[in-house]
Amino acid sequence: FGWNRDEFDLLAAGRHNIGFPIVECSSEGDLIISKPPDTGGLISFGTVAEQLVYELGNPQRYLLPDVTCDFSEVSITEIPGFEGGAVKVHGAKGSPPSTFYKVSATYLDGFRATAVCPVGGPKAVQKGKLTAESILKRTRLMFSQLGYEDYSAVNIQVLGSEDTYGPHARRSIDGVSIQWSVLKLLLTSSS
């Protein structure tokens, strides 16, 4: 729109070339999904099917306050001739709502911190592990001095080191020790 870099209210309300979907619902329960021309993204069988099953759980009993949905026989058909794609979605079935409520809730259960640090050079894996141990020692000392409890969970991963393979991990590739890794440290505290 030709907005200036200091027009912050306008910039906060807009995003660059986003292809937000357009959903046209019919009174028969079918819908057509498309997007504005000349914008990013893609509407296709795959992208719509992925969204349909995202966090769905049981596709035959998706619980909503006013209906229980059955998506198990929904058809998704691509419609030719739309720039960026369009699909027709048809076949959702419904039954009376459940007597149960589906609830999403959050609660205060401490704090979580993640640190990601690149580590390079000879013995990168060992350096990553020593860095994690150093961070833990220092923060635990700080916790002790402040009267806080220790971490309730600690997860250390040295990405690139094959740590996830446990005893089957290779410490070198073709006889050369790993020269680059990334330390991922995930800490949880109830304090």
Q: What is the DSSP string of 88-99?
A: EEE--EEEPPPS
Given a contact cutoff of 8 angstroms between Cβ atoms, the answer to whether 181 and 128 are in contact is yes
Residue 175 has pLDDT above 70, yes or no: no
What pLDDT, on the 0 to 100 scale, is given for residue 17? 66
What pLDDT, on the 0 to 100 scale, is given for residue 8? 83
Residue 113 has pLDDT above 90, yes or no: no
The whole-chain average pLDDT of the chain stands at: 85
Q: Given the DSSP bridges, would you call strands 176-177 and 93-95 parallel, antiparallel or unpaired?
A: unpaired
Q: Write down the pTM of the prediction.
A: 0.50
